[in-house]
Amino acid sequence: MVQPSKRVKHAGPPSLRANMPQKPRYDWVAIKKEYRTATYSDAELARRHGCSRRAIQKRVEKEGWTRDLAGAVRQTFTAKMVAEDARVARKVADDNAKSDESEVDRAAEVRLDVVLLHRSDIKALREEEQRLLAELGDSPTKLWVGQYQGQVIEHKVGIAVTERASALQALAAVQHKRIQLERQAFHIEDRPVEITGKDGGPIKHEIVSFPPVFASIDDWIAWQQRNKSRGEV
pLDDT in tens, 186-209: 766 655 555 566 666 665 544 444
| Position 230 confidence tier, pLDDT thresholds 50, 70, 90 | low
Higher pLDDT: 199 or 113? It is: 113
Higher pLDDT: 175 or 46? It is: 46
Residue ranges per structural domain of the chain:
23-68, 103-139+165-230
Beta carbons within 10 angstroms of residue 112's beta carbon: 10
For residues 158-187, give the mean pLDDT.
Answer: 76
| Position 142 confidence tier, pLDDT thresholds 50, 70, 90 | confident
- Secondary structure percentages of the chain, helix, strand, coil, to 5: 60, 10, 25
Element (H, E) at 27: none
pLDDT tops 70 at residue 129: yes
Higher pLDDT: 62 or 92? It is: 62
pLDDT tops 80 at residue 145: no
Q: Where are the beta strands (DSSP E) in 68-181?
A: 141-148, 151-158
For residues 204-215, give the mean pLDDT.
Answer: 50
Higher pLDDT: 58 or 114? It is: 58
Comparing 91-105, 168-182, 206-220, the range with the smallest average pLDDT is 206-220
Q: Counting Cβ atoms within 10 Å, is residue 167 exposed (0-12), middle (13-18) or buried (19+)?
A: middle
pLDDT value, residue 116: 81
14-28, 59-73, 164-178, 195-209: which is most confident: 59-73
Does this model's pTM top 0.85? My answer is no
